[in-house]
Structure 1
């Protein structure tokens, strides 16, 4: 079995286990046993459970960016990329929801997830043709994280095959972000063609600052 195939199988096993028994039960060894995978290979490729989440998040970003829209206004490109990311999450839906529900009970995990999700927002912005560098880039990432968090709540409740409720929530959140950017910049039309400025969705969590030397930052 190739390394890439083994990693995909172990990640799937981890989220399947989380769906059945809760994220608290997930470890590299437990996931390997659950998926009938070789423990030695699991130890070789995954140092800890956090690495499973890191590889999962990276795979979600790659799926979102691959084949994403390159034409049209920024708002439409962001919508396309974020929905592609939800399509990936949907493949592991029950396990992802188990992780989200468990995270508030583990402050270090919750902080780490916020940090890595903020880095993912940088890649989504870059994929849509918006810079994620510098102070303005940090503000844009925070704003997009709030948008994504609002859509995530809808996704957790969305049982439709086409994720129509998630798409509607994301569209509303991006519209509000666009309105906020218009007010902030004084522009009319698609203000997000220039930038996403600090925006907040209702009840969206704050995101921690990611330093310039973050290894997950797009180069």
Structure 2
């Protein structure tokens, strides 16, 4: 993953070589993940990232205000990689199988950055504020993973799915870090267990939602009725 900020391509007209700049944004993201695999997060400065990306600080500032913003860009990059590679063959499969496939594609997309992701994970284990910030990024990513699997992510049950999936993902990462099998057998087994557990919890939440829906509707109706007389009285007073 250690690359220069420029690549050398042949110039077909001059028979020489010319410098083709890398995208600075991409170079910064790659540099941060590289460094996160080599050092503690708190020991990585913005200057370190810029130097590794072969950029100056002014260019870094043009693209990102902080390391956290770079991490958010990395998360979006992985999201887009997963979303750009849908499997049409799974369209008729059960929901759990579709989500299983999406999340395994996410592990595949993360594979070149495994050491860096582990470095970020270790940082969140030491820093509760970091853990909360990364959890927000993960929840946002899981929204798109659910949508990619054709699963709803809105409403109260949707919020439960998102946070539950984010927590499950956090439990899966240590398994993936230690899984040296090219087929990721341990990771797949752990993911299957997490999704089965999640299915059970979501089913219970949906049952509770169905049971409480009439009560919520009645409560709203009572509040609306209590509000009407006061509005009617105010209108009558105004007419007098």
Compute the TM-score of the two structures, normalised by the length of structure 2: 0.70
Alpha-carbon distance between aligned partners in 2 of 1:30 and 1:11, rounded to the nearest angstrom: 12
Q: CA–CA distance in 2 between the matches of 1:179 and 1:136?
A: 13
Q: Which has the higher strand share?
A: 2
Check whether the contact 1:28–1:46 (CA below 8 A) recurs between aligned residues.
no
Aligned length: 186
| 2:29 pairs with 1:8 | no
Q: Kindly tell me: are residues 143 and 106 of structure 1, through their superposed partners in 2, closer, same or farther at Cα, counting changes over 3 Å?
A: closer
1:79-124: CA deviations, max 9, x gaps? 1111111112211111110111112322221111111111111111
Distance 1:109 1:179 in 2: 30
Equivalent residue of 1:176, what SS?
helix
Bigger proportion of residues as helix: 2
Moved more, 44-53 or 149-158: 149-158
Question: Is 1:174 aligned to residue 200 of structure 2?
Answer: no
- 1:83-162 residue pairs with structure 2 within 5 A? 83-162=104-183
Q: Distance in 2 between matches of 1:30 and 1:24?
A: 12
Q: Which of 42, 59, 70 is 1:52 aligned to? A: 70
SS in 1 for 2:75: helix
Larger mean Cα displacement after TM superposition, 90-99 or 105-114: 105-114
Contact 2:83 2:148 in 1 (8 A): yes
User: 2:100 corresponds to which residue?
Assistant: 79
Greater displacement, 96-105 / 18-27:
18-27
In structure 2, what is the Cα distance between the partners aligned to 1:87 and 1:80?
A: 11
Equivalent in the alignment of 2:50 = 32
SS at structure 2 position matched to 1:21: coil
Structure 1 contact 131–137 (Cα < 8 Å) conserved: yes
Q: Higher relative CO (CA 8 A, sep ≥ 6), structure 1 or 2? A: 1
Q: Per the alignment, in what secondary structure is the counterpart of residue 150 of structure 2?
A: coil
Structure 2: which 5+ runs fail to align? 1-5, 7-19, 208-240
CA 1:151–1:104: 2 relative to 1, 3 Å: closer
Larger Rg: 2
Q: CA RMSD in A?
A: 2.2
